Amino acid sequence: MTQLIIDGHEAVLPQNFSTTVKRENSFFTKNGEYTYDCTLKLDNPVNCELYGFLQRLNKTEQIETRRTATLIADGHVYTRGTEIVTRWTEESVTIQIVSGESELNYFIGQDQKIEELDLGEIETIVSTISPTDSFPDVEFCLPTIRSQSGYVYNRYVRGHIMGGHRTGNTIIPGSDLRPQPYLCALLRRLMEALGYTVTENHLENTQFKNLFLVNTIFTTEYAKMLPGWTVKDFLTEVERLTGVVFVTDNLNKTCAILLKTQFYTNARQFTIRNVTDEYETEAQDDDSREAEFTTSDVSYDMPDSYWSKIVQLPEGYLEAADIEEFDFVDIVSAISDPKKVYKDRTTGRYYIKVSREYEVQHQDATATDTFCIELNQYGNLDRVNTDSTLELKIVPAPMAWLGMVGCEVVDIGTSDGYKSYGEESEQSEETTESEGAEGDIRSFEKKETAAIDLYCAFHNGSVLGNNTPVAYTDAYHALTQALLYPMIVDTILGPEGSLRLKDLDDGYYQGGYEIDTRHALTIETYDPNVIDPRQVYVIRNKRYVCKEVEEVITAEGRQNKWKGTFFHIHVSDESLENRWVLTHGVWDDHAVWLDDGRWNDDYDGAIV
């Protein structure tokens, strides 16, 4: 028997009622659970009242939308979500039910702009945030930022020399402050604005808890810090950069942000029985599969600039370069020839020697500065046997050494790469008003047509010895600045994290699961159980993970035969908490612990 409950009221199903329920695994897709068309007759008073007599041409009331809907068959809830009325006539109405990610996609649509949502605003006095504060104690930080127009935000006043030591720097309050929102704080606020509570966020236990998004807009509203970005595009890019997946629970309105490498940790394993002999294995080439970070080449979609060419070398440059290896401890003396590329034997990082001529402030003279810079810091991640490329739209922020601060800062306006020679006195109060307003106008005009370039960097509470907060995109690079730039006299305290693609691959993209997504196995089965697509299954003595399940529901209940699509997975017993016990000379598995202390393979593994 099948029941359809709409907004707490049971609808009358026609005798020939039939629909398909499709449940997809959020590990592979963003479609969640949904039904195909469900057609209801309007020839009875129950359905007519349920749909407000919408078949009448003279009806003036608006159709109720976003009502709860539950489809129950044989005592099992097959989908519980939101009703969508797709069409109607004088005789019938057709609806669909969306749940999970499908429901979320329906609510936000394809074009829902983040800036149109209410993500709340900063309620504390921005300038009171301590430079050593970081997430989760605060939701934003205040490292120094140099904008596209060259204007410097979040400036700090140098401390005074007392007793041979410099006192701590202090931030300059006023309209020059630009809060830099932490990613984890933004995600929590965004999901709450969409009606979901984040119950678990794996990112908060990784380096990404210290990741902030660069903001040069004068606002305290979090939503206004992401102009032009849609919810769908932003969440997609977060998943691609960090290797997570958003798993929503429409019943409880909760959301879990899980690392894909831990998605099947402690997953249950069940056996699918009564599989028919007919099956289909579809070979999918790279063009037909969505590019994803574990199997595709990965690259940052860097804006075109001199800095991006330095940190992401053009293809073929290293192959043609004159490369000499060296030991990093000798970097100052080893890197001497500006025509050569130098490679650190230990880390594999590349460096070159460059010179810059600049005007000496308050003097009618020029000087030359010679220093080392790192090459290909964010070079592409190339894999073998793949033709697909995943481009990341959230990219590492450009960094440049800034004299008025005494360290590297986020510099999205840099043109010469790595160094700016401006002095603090150059930025007057008059310049503050004109440059700041001009920057805001430029941002406002741009957000109407396209999403802003989204840069990111880390701040984990690390400060210079003079109390200036440190932003960085690569901790190793940040820790070596005292050697690369001898003018720095303070020591950076304990940064951690890296946006280098090799480091992301080692720490977050690999080490998870070996899943053969190139060969999709589609089976038909008479197994009576209702399976959860997010578990691991044994089919004909091989382990698989489920991509999607299709079940036909009629007025009498679910049809006995249903269809599923699976991918073969290599995963250890330990990962699945699988136990094996010898019973009467036979190894039993895949089942449940009984009171007599034995595993029993006759257990049907039903999920209820």
User: CA of 307: how far to CAs of 339, 396, 474, in Å?
Assistant: 19, 11, 15
Q: Give Rg (Cα) of the chain.
A: 29
Contact call for residues 540 and 273 (beta carbons, < 8 A): no
Q: What is the mean pLDDT of residues 208-230?
A: 94
With a pLDDT cut of 90, the percent of the chain lying above it is 38
Q: What is the pLDDT of residues 536-573, one digit of tens each?
A: 999 988 999 999 999 999 999 999 999 999 999 987 66
pLDDT at residue number 306: 81
Predicted structure pTM score? 0.81
- In this structure, what token pair is assigned to residue 324? 């000499």
Residues in the chain, how many? 608
Instruction: Say if residue 425's pLDDT is above 80.
Output: no
Distance CA 433, CA 107 (A): 40
Distance CA 602, CA 608 (A): 17
Q: What is the pLDDT of residues 315-327, one digit of tens each?
A: 888 888 899 998 8
Strand 407-411, strand 145-146: pairing: parallel
Q: What is the 3-state secondary structure (H, E, C) of 86-99?
A: EEECCCEEEEEEEE
Distance CA 111, CA 228 (A): 10
pLDDT at residue number 52: 78
Contact call for residues 142 and 468 (beta carbons, < 8 A): no
Q: What is the pLDDT of residues 356-415, one digit of tens each?
A: 776 776 677 887 777 788 899 999 998 887 778 899 999 999 988 776 666 678 888 754
Q: What is the mean pLDDT of residues 309-315?
A: 89
- 538 vs 432, which has greater pLDDT? 538
pLDDT at residue number 29: 86
Amino acid identity for residue 33 in this structure: E
Q: pLDDT-derived band of residue 55, with 50, 70 and 90 as boundaries?
A: low
**45-49, 112-116, 248-252, range with the lowest pLDDT:** 248-252
**33-37, 334-338, 511-515, 577-581, range with the lowest pLDDT:** 577-581
Q: What is the mean pLDDT of residues 92-120?
A: 83
Q: Count other Cβ atoms within 10 Å, centred on residue 276.
A: 11
pLDDT at residue number 10: 95
pLDDT at residue number 452: 80
In 193-264, which ranges are E strands? 197-201, 211-213, 244-249, 254-259
Q: pLDDT-derived band of residue 576, with 50, 70 and 90 as boundaries?
A: low
Q: What is the 3-state secondary structure (H, E, C) of 511-544?
A: CCCEEEEEEEEEEEECCCCCCCCCCEEEECCEEE
